[in-house]
Amino acid sequence: MAQKLVAVKGMNDILPPDSARWEWFEDKVRGLMRRYGYANVRTPIVEPTALFVRGLGEVTDIVEKEMYSFADSMNGDQLTLRPEATAGIVRAMVEHNALYNGPLRVWTMGAVFRHERPQKGRYRQFHQIDVEALGYAGPDVDAEQILMCRALWRELGLVEGEDVRLEINSLGQSEERQKHREALIAYFEAHAPLLDEDARRRLHSNPLRILDSKNPAMQAMVEAAPQLTSFLGETSLAHLDAVRAILDAAGLPYRVNPRLVRGMDYYNLTVFEWVTDKLGSQGTVCGGGRYDGLFEQLGGKPTPAVGWGLGVERLLLLLEAVGPAIEPPVPDAYAVIPDAAALPVVMRALQALRDAGVKVQMHSSSNADRGSMKSQLKKADASGARHALIFGADELAQNQVTVKSLRDGSGQQVMQPLADVSTWAATLQSLT
Ligand code: ATP
Ligand code: MG
């Protein structure tokens, strides 16, 4: 036998029965987006490398060490597998002048790629739900997006405050960050012996990122560093207060975390994360914030915007740990067909049932022997179907089928006509 091929490290196959949880989750997300008026968009998985270097910032973890970048073997173009969705969406909006008629609320769902050390909740290909409100400046939309996350948690059966908690912060505007930056550099310089290599490298390029350091040896020093909050002007503070007032009125508890900075450089004003302590160090399920400068940075007109991204694998791990059990979907009916000669007639009837909305699984086998009536009925039972459709010789001679109840304990059998399945198809369907 030829040698087996395996998936690329850190990239997962999603197979049944696990895929049922994915579909269940995706259905909930689609419903949520419709209720909040967000329209679906889809952008390419591969983008010019420059998009992310310019969009995310050169001195970010993602751009420095996590991108899958390569030269197009045909023309040498520098390309990158998208490490996140926002930059591509903004590129598309600018390219198509899509905000010409006014602001847009959009969302997407798909694979993103980061070259990280694979571990539980951290993969090299993973999936994000990404939600963006483009062209809106007000704190109402920031709050809408945060509350939208809460609505999703509730629908998924997660308990806020227990399974997931909200942290928010304001990153202010660039002049405020500039002043804070100067104060930070002065502070870190005064504590230079305590800085690790990463921090020393970032001291002048991106000192704010040092606040995000996970090095335990630096924690105490980092915690005492000057906080951006004390550099925020009136307008920035008012924006944060307005977001908070809406969250307060909605009864949503949160913690203002002055050290929350997020992993991309494009954020300003509101930033937020939904965190859990049930997934070890992979504790951030969802994060987002305002990025009013990104459109201009990518060659567009100044356009205020706010968005969030959710890690689907992490959320599903959390749901597995604390959420409701998800039963894989089962067929309404399983077709038992002992005689292969009957297949043309039977399959025509099954088609009519499916056209009427019934979920039908047909008995098939791996060899010419289809198996006895008895063994097929066993398969019907194992399939989880609520009914067996028995296409035996006697039934077919009368142009009928026997419908046998498999789940209600009655074992009841009823003959139904094949001539007009629409009159009885509904009796096979489950309510869900
Ligand atoms: P972290 O601090 O855990 O690396 P991040 O700040 O890099 O997260 P974002 O860029 O904000 O993450 O991406 C949004 C979400 O995507 C995260 O909150 C997380 O749930 C998920 N995520 C990020 N990186 C990975 C990964 N390598 N594998 C799986 N999910 C991920
Ligand atoms: Mg990261």
Looking at the DSSP bridge assignments, the partners of residue 390 are 336, 402
Question: Domain check: are 317 and 337 in the same one?
Answer: no
* Residue 222 resides in a domain: no
Q: Within 6 Å (CB) of ligand 1, which residues are found?
A: 84, 114, 116, 121-123, 126, 128, 263, 282, 284-287, 309, 311, 313-314
- Which residue's CA is minimally distant from atom 29 of ligand 1? 122
> In the predicted model, is pLDDT for residue 336 greater than 90?
yes
Question: Domain check: are 283 and 398 in the same one?
Answer: no
Last residue of one domain, picked from the residues 322, 344, 368: 322
Question: Domain check: are 388 and 412 in the same one?
Answer: yes
Question: Domain check: are 274 and 384 in the same one?
Answer: no
The first and second tokens of residue 425, run together, are 């198809």
pLDDT given for residue 431 in this prediction: 58
> In the predicted model, is pLDDT for residue 157 greater than 70?
yes
Dihedral sign (CA 43, 49, 55, 61): positive
Average pLDDT over the chain, rounded to an integer: 95
Give the total number of structural domains in the chain: 2
Distance from the alpha carbon of residue 234 to the mean position of ligand 1, in angstroms: 32
Distance from the alpha carbon of residue 314 to the mean position of ligand 2, in angstroms: 13
pTM of this structure: 0.91
What domain range includes position 345?
Answer: 333-429
Residue of 314, 316, 317, 319 to test ligand 1 pocket, by largest number of atoms within 8 Å of CB: 314
Question: Domain check: are 274 and 416 in the same one?
Answer: no
> In the predicted model, is pLDDT for residue 323 greater than 80?
no
> In the predicted model, is pLDDT for residue 217 greater than 60?
yes
Query: Where does residue 411 fall: left (phi above 0), alpha (psi -120 to 50 degrees), or beta otherwise?
Result: left
| Contact status, residue 264 vs residue 62, Cβ threshold 8 Å | yes
Question: Domain check: are 238 and 91 in the same one?
Answer: yes
Mean per-residue pLDDT for 106-112? 98
Residue 371 burial by Cβ neighbours in a 10 Å radius (0-12, 13-18, 19+): middle
Last residue of one domain, picked from the residues 297, 322, 347: 322
* Residue 12 resides in a domain: no
Summarize pLDDT for 174-188 with one digit per residue, the tens: 899 999 999 999 999
- Which residue's CA is minimally distant from atom 6 of ligand 1? 263
Question: Domain check: are 37 and 119 in the same one?
Answer: yes
* Residue 13 resides in a domain: no
Side by side, the strands of the sheet bearing 360-362 are 360-362, 333-336, 387-390, 400-405, 413-417
Please tell me whether residue 269 adopts helix, strand or coil conformation.
strand
Distance from the alpha carbon of residue 146 to the mean position of ligand 1, in angstroms: 17
CA 29 to chain centre: 8
CATH number at residue 347: 3.40.50.800
Distance from the alpha carbon of residue 125 to the mean position of ligand 1, in angstroms: 11
Question: Domain check: are 287 and 370 in the same one?
Answer: no
* Ligand 1 atom showing the smallest separation from residue 122 Cα: 28
pLDDT given for residue 206 in this prediction: 84
Distance CA 245, CA 270 (A): 13
pLDDT given for residue 130 in this prediction: 98
Higher pLDDT, residue 39 or 59: 39
Summarize pLDDT for 353-365 with one digit per residue, the tens: 999 999 999 999 9
> In the predicted model, is pLDDT for residue 432 greater than 60?
no
- Which residue's CA is minimally distant from atom 11 of ligand 1? 287
Distance CA 394, CA 312 (A): 51
Q: Which of 23-61 are b and which e, b meaning 16 or more Cβ less than 10 Å from the residue's Cβ?
A: ebbeeebeebbeebebeebebeeebebebbbbbbbeebb
Question: Domain check: are 276 and 388 in the same one?
Answer: no
> In the predicted model, is pLDDT for residue 229 greater than 60?
yes
> In the predicted model, is pLDDT for residue 341 greater than 70?
yes
Mean per-residue pLDDT for 254-266? 86
> In the predicted model, is pLDDT for residue 123 greater than 90?
yes
* Residue 183 resides in a domain: no
Q: φ, ψ for residue 413 (rounded to 5)?
A: -125, 130
CATH number at residue 136: 3.30.930.10
- Angle among Cα 193, 196, 200 to the nearest 5 degrees reads 80
Summarize pLDDT for 388-402 with one digit per residue, the tens: 999 999 999 999 999
pLDDT given for residue 391 in this prediction: 97
Distance CA 94, CA 225 (A): 38
- Which residue's CA is minimally distant from atom 16 of ligand 1? 311
Residue of 211, 282, 318 to test ligand 1 pocket, by largest number of atoms within 8 Å of CB: 282
Question: Domain check: are 249 and 394 in the same one?
Answer: no
Distance CA 191, CA 214 (A): 17
* Residue 48 resides in a domain: yes
Question: Domain check: are 46 and 116 in the same one?
Answer: yes
What residue spans of 289-372 are helical by DSSP H? 294-297, 312-322, 343-355
Nearest in space to 242 (alpha carbons), one of 137, 381, 357: 137
Last residue of one domain, picked from the residues 322, 343, 367: 322
* Residue 224 resides in a domain: no
* Residue 267 resides in a domain: yes
* Ligand 1 atom showing the smallest separation from residue 118 Cα: 27
> In the predicted model, is pLDDT for residue 310 greater than 80?
yes
Summarize pLDDT for 194-212 with one digit per residue, the tens: 999 999 998 988 888 898 8
> In the predicted model, is pLDDT for residue 154 greater than 70?
yes
| Contact status, residue 63 vs residue 57, Cβ threshold 8 Å | yes
Distance from the alpha carbon of residue 66 to the mean position of ligand 2, in angstroms: 8
* Residue 196 resides in a domain: no
| Contact status, residue 402 vs residue 408, Cβ threshold 8 Å | no
Please tell me whether residue 216 adopts helix, strand or coil conformation.
helix
| Contact status, residue 239 vs residue 306, Cβ threshold 8 Å | no
| Contact status, residue 67 vs residue 89, Cβ threshold 8 Å | no
Question: Domain check: are 117 and 166 in the same one?
Answer: yes
pLDDT given for residue 195 in this prediction: 94
> In the predicted model, is pLDDT for residue 263 greater than 80?
no
* Ligand 1 atom showing the smallest separation from residue 62 Cα: 7
Mean per-residue pLDDT for 146-160? 96
Distance from the alpha carbon of residue 236 to the mean position of ligand 1, in angstroms: 27
